[in-house]
């Protein structure tokens, strides 16, 4: 009976792995079929009422549309508008003036700026915006997406100004700083190694390390050390933000010092991108204006500025969408959500750069229509996740795993987080979904609850690498929608590496 419960709980996940990896099926088709499979198990095995299944589906679709898809459209709209105004060409020239080495720019944009976006906004911005910039510089799309998904695995727990960690603290009743300290401790090694994996993937092997190991080591340490210290001693709100600012600043200074060094041909920005423009300070600010405004708006409206954040956060609506037992109102923040601010920043930046209102509107609607399949994919994933969660399928899998593994469970605690993120695509949802289970499992085997909750947070970030909703977002940002299966099959081995290492760390230091 236990085995049957475990297998049936995994049916939609097994299907997605087969469909996306082995069958090479487009994400929107595979994820739509996953809805049918999860609904069938929920209704015919778990006894879920059809009306409850339908309401879980609706809750998933609406949760996908706002705020996740809003962020995707916002990030792509920003990028497309900078292309339309010609600002992206100037941005490329400015970045090349820092370094013409693709590996070093990947550290500044993918590692530093990507982690900053995760710390400030989350919801996919950490992959979508850096991906659009790097690919505009001529980076190969699939490897770029894979590298950014790897990078985004470890900052997740402290993303969105610490929301995943504060949410699980609320769900379990454990002090937020206690969980934050455990998370900082369990993530520190993999966090430090992440930029090394970034360069390995971007540079297609160990040859990419030649000549840049010192700056790579310093860039990794410049983020990881402040991230660990702040997360361990102060709490979850600022580790990503402060770490990213330190890393971007130090890496940029080192890159400028190294700029006269000869860059190997295979890692050099191509000739047409090497032609530097003589830009004034004002022209530079104008080119970067959408991203500068994004930075300002996200800072000012975040929890770092309570006087602005608190009144804006009250402008929201809550609806009880799920009709079954245990249903809770779903909240929609209409103003203070990253997607709204990014769209506003894009519009203001476009106007500063000389775009006409008609061009801005055309660019926005073009962005939406070109990403319909991505929108369908993400709605389908979140609908499947809600059906699995509300029917108890996801909990069945985690509960069976905890029962069967017993004292060895700490090794698998990270894998439970991977499962949660694969299904939900969210570090916050995974924290709330499995945090209480991890706490109960810890009591059962005599381990500190905050430690297994931290392992869950690590696993959630790792699972986001292959979460269909996250991969679909990333592929859309990179202009390779429809190649989700290739990205997942490529990044899967890194998920295994990270999860095994995370499991070993968890069981050694329990």
Backbone φ and ψ of 294, nearest 5°: -55, -50
Could you give the CA distance from residue 209 to residue 500 in angstroms, rounded to a whole number? 24
Could you give the CA distance from residue 240 to residue 160 in angstroms, rounded to a whole number? 9
Straight-line distance from the first to the last Cα atom of the chain, in angstroms, rounded to the nearest whole number = 31
DSSP 249-260: HHHHHHHHHHTT
Closest alpha carbon to 296 in 344, 238, 251: 344
Could you give the CA distance from residue 81 to residue 129 in angstroms, rounded to a whole number? 13
Q: Would you say 262 and 211 are in contact if contact means Cβ atoms under 8 Å apart?
A: no
Each domain of the chain, given as residue ranges in start order, spans 2-269+277-319+332-508
Closest alpha carbon to 81 in 271, 293, 373, 264: 293
Question: Which residues, including other chains, have CB under 8 Å from residue 101's CB and lie 6 or more apart?
Answer: 212, 255, 258, 263, 267, 268, 269
Could you give the CA distance from residue 490 to residue 488 in angstroms, rounded to a whole number? 5
User: Angle at the Cα of 353 (from 350 to 355), degrees rounded to 5?
Assistant: 55
Answer left, alpha or beta for residue 210, where phi above 0 means left and psi between -120 and 50 means alpha. beta
Q: In which element (H, E) is residue 316 found?
A: strand 316-319
pLDDT truncated to tens, each residue of the chain (510 aa)? 788 988 998 898 889 878 876 787 877 888 899 999 999 999 999 999 999 999 999 998 998 888 778 877 887 788 889 889 998 788 777 877 888 899 999 999 999 989 988 887 676 778 888 898 898 888 999 999 999 999 999 999 998 778 788 878 866 878 889 999 999 999 999 999 999 999 999 999 999 999 999 999 999 999 999 999 999 998 887 899 889 999 999 999 999 988 777 888 889 886 444 444 567 888 889 998 988 898 788 788 877 789 998 999 899 999 999 999 888 888 888 998 878 998 999 999 999 999 999 999 999 999 999 888 878 887 887 788 889 889 988 778 877 877 888 889 999 999 989 988 887 777 877 887 778 778 878 877 888 999 999 999 999 999 999 988 889 888 888 888 888 889 999 999 999 999 999 999 999 987
Burial of 223 (0-12, 13-18, 19+ CB in 10 A): buried
Longest dimension (CA), the chain: 71
DSSP state of 305: S
Residue labelled with tokens 């310093």: 218
Could you give the CA distance from residue 178 to residue 172 in angstroms, rounded to a whole number? 12
What's the 3-state SS for 176-226?
A: HHHHHHHHHHHHHHHHHHHHHHHHHHHCCCHHHHCCCHHHHHHHHHHHHHH
Residue 154, number of CB atoms within 10 A of its CB: 29
């Amino acid at each position: 009976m236990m085995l049957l419960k475990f297998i049936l709980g995994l049916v939609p996940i097994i299907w997605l792995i087969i469909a996306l990896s082995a069958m090479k099926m487009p994400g929107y088709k595979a994820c739509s079929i996953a809805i049918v499979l999860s609904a069938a198990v929920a209704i015919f095995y778990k006894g879920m009422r059809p009306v409850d299944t339908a309401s879980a589906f609706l809750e998933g679709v609406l949760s996908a549309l706002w705020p996740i898809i809003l962020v995707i459209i916002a990030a792509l709209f920003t990028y497309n508008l900078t292309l339309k105004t010609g600002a992206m060409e100037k941005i490329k020239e400015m970045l090349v003036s820092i370094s013409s080495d693709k590996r070093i720019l990947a550290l500044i944009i993918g590692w530093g700026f990507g982690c900053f976006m995760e710390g400030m906004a989350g919801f996919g911005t950490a992959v979508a915006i850096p991906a659009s910039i790097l690919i505009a510089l001529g980076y190969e799309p699939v490897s770029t997406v894979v590298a950014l998904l790897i990078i985004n695995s470890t900052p997740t727990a402290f993303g969105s100004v610490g929301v995943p960690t504060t949410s699980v603290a609320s769900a379990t009743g454990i002090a937020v700083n206690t969980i934050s300290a455990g998370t900082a401790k369990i993530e520190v090694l993999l966090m430090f190694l992440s930029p090394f994996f970034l360069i390995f993937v971007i540079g297609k092997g160990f040859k990419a390390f030649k000549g840049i190991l010192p700056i790579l080591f310093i860039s990794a340490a410049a983020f990881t050390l402040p991230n660990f210290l702040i997360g361990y001693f102060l709490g979850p709100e600022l580790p990503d933000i402060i770490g990213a600012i330190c890393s971007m600043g130090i890496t940029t200074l080192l890159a400028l010092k190294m700029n006269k060094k000869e860059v190997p041909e295979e890692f050099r920005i191509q000739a047409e991108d090497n032609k530097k423009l003589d830009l004034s300070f004002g022209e530079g600010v104008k080119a970067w204006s959408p991203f500068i405004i994004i930075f300002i708006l996200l800072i000012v409206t975040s929890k770092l500025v309570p006087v602005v954040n608190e009144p804006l956060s009250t402008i929201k609506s809550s609806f009880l969408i799920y009709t079954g037992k245990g249903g809770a109102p779903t909240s929609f923040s209409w103003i203070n959500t990253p997607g709204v601010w990014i769209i506003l920043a894009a519009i203001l930046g476009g106007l500063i750069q000389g775009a006409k209102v008609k061009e801005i509107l055309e660019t926005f609607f073009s962005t939406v229509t070109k990403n319909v399949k991505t929108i369908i994919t993400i709605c389908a994933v979140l609908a499947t996740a809600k059906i699995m969660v509300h029917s108890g399928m996801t909990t069945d899998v985690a509960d069976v795993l905890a029962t069967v593994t017993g004292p060895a469970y700490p090794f698998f605690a990270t894998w439970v987080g991977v499962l949660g993120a694969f299904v939900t695509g969210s570090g916050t949802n995974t924290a709330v979904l499995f945090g209480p289970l991890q706490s109960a499992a810890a009591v059962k085997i005599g381990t500190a609850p905050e430690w297994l909750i931290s392992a869950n947070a690590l696993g959630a970030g790792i699972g986001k690498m292959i979460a269909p909703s996250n991969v679909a977002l990333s592929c859309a940002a990179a202009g390779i929608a429809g190649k989700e299966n290739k990205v997942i099959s490529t990044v899967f081995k890194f998920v295994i590496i990270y999860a095994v290492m995370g499991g070993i760390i968890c069981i050694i230091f329990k």
